[in-house]
Amino acid sequence: MKSSSVALVLLTLLSLSACVSIVGGPGGISPSQFQFRSIVPLREPGPGGWKSARVIIQLVHMTERGVRKNIHCGIEVQVPQINEFSIVTDEFAQLEAARAAERTLKQEDLLTAEMCKRFRDEMQSEMREFIPGTRIIQAL
């Protein structure tokens, strides 16, 4: 991250069930924060079905003037239950979601005026490399 524009970045994932966990520190982002649930059942053989995990990501940073900014970014990670390559297990989806979030946070130009949208777009790009068909949308 550009040290001239950001003094501190913390990431807190809050699941929609109000479970709180501090991540992005020494322990990294826990895959368990991404609890996938079926949203479209698998109806026939082959690619199909969808599952999703909703989380609220709190991005916090300090400006050069010492002003603290909190941005709450609700995201929904949607992955196919089966894609063109194989079955997407919950464990694999959780691991890749956590890894994608960590990789996204390490990008130097993440902190912009559109932090939340940028985070969703970058995380989706990261996850699609490992789970084709992944969608990251704004959670309500």
Residue 99, burial from CB neighbour count under 10 angstroms (0-12, 13-18, 19+)? middle
pLDDT at 24: 45
**Domain enclosing residue 129, as ranges:** 26-55+75-138
pLDDT at 62: 67
- Does residue 9 lie within any of the structural domains? no
pLDDT at 104: 80
What is the pLDDT confidence band of residue 15, given thresholds at 50, 70 and 90? Answer: very low
- Does residue 4 lie within any of the structural domains? no
Q: Encode pLDDT of 46-92 as tens digits.
A: 889 999 999 887 776 667 787 777 777 888 999 999 998 899 999 99
- Does residue 124 lie within any of the structural domains? yes
- Does residue 44 lie within any of the structural domains? yes
- Does residue 61 lie within any of the structural domains? no
pLDDT (mean) for 131-135: 93
Average pLDDT, the chain: 75
Residue 127 reports pLDDT greater than 90: yes
pLDDT (mean) for 6-35: 48
* CA-wise closest residue to 9 among 55, 69, 65, 56: 69
Dihedral (CA of 70, 12, 52, 104) sign: positive
pLDDT (mean) for 2-22: 31
Domain count within the chain: 1
Say if residues 104 and 54 touch (Cβ distance below 8 Å): no
